[in-house]
Amino acid sequence: GHMAGLLAAAKILHKQRAKIAGIVKLVFQPAEEGLGGARAMIADGVLEDGPCGPRGDAVYGLHPWSYDALGDILCSAGPVMAASDRFDIDVYGKGGHGAAPQGTVDAIVEAASVVTSLHTIVSRNVDPLENGVLTVGMINGGCNYNVICDHVRITGTCRSFKPEVQETIKARMHNVCCGVAAAHGGRIELEYKYGYPPTVNAYPECVAVVNSASARIVGVANCGKPQKTMGAEDFSYFLQARPGCFFFVGAALPGDPRPHHKSVFDFDEDAILLGASVFVQIIRDIIGQK
C-alpha cells in the first residue's frame, strides 16, 4: 500500500510537473521492517544535495491503517508511534534425566519464572499515566519429553514513547534476570538491543498542512483524528532529520478486523488512492502551482 500510493502520487505529479513551482523528491524506502532502511538512506544523503537529488526541506509519510474506516485520515501532533527495542535472554541451567531432578537446574522452570516476572515490570514499575509494553514473542528450549532442559532462549520486544520509560524497563529486566538466576541457581544472560526511536510529529505547522490537505480530500469531519500506537516505524529517523509529519490513512474492510502483522491481514485498496490524493494536495499547498 505504501509504495503503490506513492507511485500513484508520482504519476499524477508527473502529469502536472509543468505547473509545480518547486521540486518534489519521492523516497521509495526499503527495509522498514527491522533493518532501518530510512537510516541507511539518510546516511547515503537522500535528504541532502547530491547524487540522490536536491536537498529536502520537509518530509511527509503515511501508513495505511486497517484498524480505522476508509475515508478517515488520522493525524495529530506529538508521538504517534513508539520506540521499538528487542531483547534476547539466554537461560542456562543444569540438565539431567526427567525422573531424577535432584542435582539439576531446570532451565524451563527458570525461564518460566523469568517470563512471569518480566510481565510485572510495566504494571508495577512504569507510571500508569505513561505508556510501555513488554512482550515475550518467542520461547525455545528442551529436546525431549523426559529430559530436564539446560538452556532456554526467550526473545521479545519492548515499546515506549519516552527515554525514561525505556530505561526503567531495561533496568528492571536486568534486575529480574539476576534475581531469578540467583533464586534457581542458574545463569541468565540478557542482551537488550535498542531499535527504532519513537516517531514524533514535533512540528504543529506540518501537522496543520496534512490536516488542511486531508480536509480537501475527505472533509473536515474525517480528518485530524488523533492516532497513537505502540507500533514502530523507521520514518522516525526522517523526522529527526527534518521537519515533517507522519499520518495514517484508514483502510479497514467491512466485517471482522484484519489487522497488520496477522495471517488474515487485508485492507481496502481504495485507501491507496486516498493516500496518493493527500500527498498531491500537500505538494500543491506547500509549494503551489505556476
Distance CA 275, CA 267 (A): 13
- CB of 147 closer than 8 Å to CB of 95: yes
Cβ neighbours of 56 (radius 10 Å): 19
Instruction: Say what the pLDDT of residue 96 is.
Output: 94
Give me the mean pLDDT over the 208-226 stretch: 93
Q: Match 523426559 to its residue by C-alpha cell.
A: 146
Kindly report the backbone phi and psi dihedral angles of residue 173, in degrees, each rounded to the nearest multiple of 5, phi listed first: -60, -45
At residue 289 the predicted structure's pLDDT band, cuts being 50, 70 and 90, is low
Give me the mean pLDDT over the 124-140 stretch: 96
Distance CA 144, CA 15 (A): 64
Distance CA 280, CA 6 (A): 10
pLDDT at 132 over 70: yes
Give me the mean pLDDT over the 82-104 stretch: 96
For the stretch 64-79, pLDDT in tens is 888 888 899 999 999 9
At residue 251 the predicted structure's pLDDT band, cuts being 50, 70 and 90, is confident
DSSP structural state of residue 55: P
pLDDT at 290 over 60: no
- CB of 248 closer than 8 Å to CB of 73: yes
Instruction: Say what the pLDDT of residue 263 is.
Output: 78
Cell of residue 85, nine digits: 527495542
Q: Burial, 187: exposed, middle or buried (Cβ in 10 Å; 0-12, 13-18, 19+)?
A: middle
Q: What is the mean pLDDT of the chain?
A: 92
For the stretch 13-72, pLDDT in tens is 989 888 888 889 999 888 777 777 899 999 999 999 888 888 999 999 999 888 888 899
Distance CA 266, CA 258 (A): 6
- CB of 35 closer than 8 Å to CB of 195: no
Report the predicted TM-score, pTM, of the whole model to 2 decimal places: 0.88
Instruction: Say what the pLDDT of residue 288 is.
Output: 73
- Helical packing angle, 107-118 and 163-184, nearest 10°: 150
